[in-house]
Structure 1
């Protein structure tokens, strides 16, 4: 079997030609390319890199390519992408690396299995967008074991579904102590508030739109969904005191565990219709009343407690200074 070699290029002056050739022969190192993984027994004269067959890699072609294991057979890892740690995967080829001797993929924290295709005990709902892979069971402390519900579908609660039962939304103050429908009219497809008339009943800004009862009550199935709305306002000045208040407020929970949670977002611009899409998970939600300097993120358990029984949802209507109109 022919053997090839490569050489480390000696650092000699070019005028010492014969010494260069002599030194090169003395520094020759065998390529040692794999008889299984290499195309031939040749290697790069400067780096020693062998020419590998399609399924193989490594300097000597003694390793399987990413996404394969069990050298020299190089079987596909076949990792389940939603449950596998993203850092071990090539998102373009959709292939993930695994341990060569066992084929074990690198699972997300709450996932197990050789292919990372099932949730750990007391976890459920394996999905790609969850950085942990699966979520912890939520059973009000009664048990830690659960399974994903089957045969369920998502239903959108929208203004189209509500159009036959309501035409306007009331405006309230942040403490929900006062409410009004004065100056509020329905102009299809929007609900418009004339702030000069609204201020005859409400005096302490900011004011909030209060969503109807269809958005209240048992909403655990809304977890992972989205709250979508559009907002538009006109004011004399773009910024004002009320600009910095939370844009969404939700109160809910069990009788012994009531929480108020809030969501801050960039304020809309004057005269521009702004669309918001808020993911209904605990991410980016804060506790109402927290010092802004510490501003704790809501825990998953508390967020689910709120969804268990929503008392109200408020969406901010007032922005800027000397507000004229909101819709």
Structure 2
């Protein structure tokens, strides 16, 4: 105050004026008397900690912290702390209407880009169309800012005109079309700062072809954009449209600068924490059975499809055309049979493998024990034939993804979730 008779904002207990204990980024307290009132995604007595499943406490974020996206796989994430870089391009700009029926190449003068109103005279609302450098995969632009500097020239001596009103920015991607801003700008120039958060963005109908002075904003303001939708759009941004007309008697529009920030590993001075780094869970490959009636057989380290607990060969026998009744008996034995047990515990399976010729039953049981897959590397790889299922079990290979290899003995094309020469990890 003029006489220093009260504490400044963020301080309390005059005349000591101690700092307010509430984190200003995570709280909504204007006065710090009493307990701290946290934003929705913030926790802690001082409102300085993100809630579980959230990251990056930001004063500009109305909910405090950003929820983890991680493609829906996990909600455990943290800030990636990437360096901030920018995209600035002055070439290959064009101007188009909302439906892209008319696209006109803009004229460039130095670093500025110009468009005459006569070139787009059939439309009341038209937009700058960004070149390819601003499009594509822009997920690291989340939480960053799009800065636009524009100006316009009005008809000289005409005082009857008025500012127009329509969205400032429209972007498309992943099947969505969203917009930001719905303002009128007075004067002859403007600097637009568009945050790439989902807040204040709304869905924009694709069937809107023009916005006139009689168009109500309710006709094009759709539902609010969600965090997931924003990330999907930024993952494949197909078009970026920036407002080009701001006044009813505008005769020319000028685009000075369009600066798009994005995060990347580097050594830049400015660092952003708005980009998430996901703590991905260790992938547990699905069991081999494709029949939902088969029991779930969890994998154990080293997570090999050929480890004893998986009984992968048994599954292949089931899928080779054994009758439903035989499958029923085999399923009952899956949980009981463990290949670590003595061989005599596997003998009851002889009676269950009906339809398998007697001369091949021993080989089928050895397949259950994993001996065919875990035997030592042959000394002469050229002489190793591809192991196949006996004729009585069908004509499909027992290991259809493994073939002899001169260097490795076997070379396998592993199913999803496995790697290594023999899919052993």
Q: Shorter-chain-normalised TM-score: which range?
A: 0.5 to 0.7
Q: CA contact under 8 A between 2:115 and 2:253: conserved in structure 1?
A: yes
Question: Which of 153, 164, 167 is equivalent to 1:246?
Answer: 167
| CA contact 1:77–1:115 (8 Å) conserved in 2 | no
Q: Tell me, in whole angstroms, the C-alpha distance in 1 between the residues paired with 2:27 and 2:50.
A: 14
C-alpha distance in structure 2 between counterparts of 1:140 and 1:284, whole Å: 22
Q: How does 1:1-327 map to 2 (within 5 A)?
A: 79=21, 81-82=23-24, 84-87=26-29, 90=32, 107-150=38-81, 152-158=82-88, 162-163=89-90, 166=91, 168-181=92-105, 184-196=106-118, 198-199=119-120, 203-236=122-155, 243-253=164-174, 258-269=175-186, 272-289=188-205, 292-293=217-218, 295=221, 296-321=223-248, 323-327=250-254
- Measured in 1, the distance between the counterparts of 2:177 and 2:160 equals 26
Change (3 A) 1:241 1:287: farther
- Gaps spanning 5+ residues in structure 1: where? 1-64, 68-75, 91-95, 99-104
- Residue 29 of structure 2: SS of its match in structure 1? helix
> What is the DSSP-based 3-state SS (H/G/I as helix, E as strand, rest coil) of the residue aligned with 2:167?
coil
**1:109/1:206 CA distance change after superposition, 3 Å:** closer
Instruction: Give the TM-score taking structure 2 as reference length.
Output: 0.46
Report deviation, 1:130.
Answer: 2.6
CA contact (8 A) 1:239 1:320 kept: no
| Structure 1, 235-244 or 172-181: larger mean CA deviation | 235-244
CA drift of 1:224 comes to 1.9
Q: Take 1:244 and 1:260, find their aligned partners in 2: how far apart are those partners?
A: 19
Residue 321 of structure 1 and its aligned partner are, at CA, apart by 3.5
Please tell me the root mean square deviation across aligned C-alpha atoms, in Å.
3.4
Q: CA-to-partner distance for each residue in 1:27-83, whole Å, 9 max, x for gaps?
A: xxxxxxxxxxxxxxxxxxxxxxxxxxxxxxxxxxxxxx869xxxxxxxx99946156
Aligned residue pairs: how many? 227
- Compute the displacement of 1:175 (Å): 0.9
Deviation at 1:266, TM superposition (A): 2.8
Give the drift of 1:251.
0.6
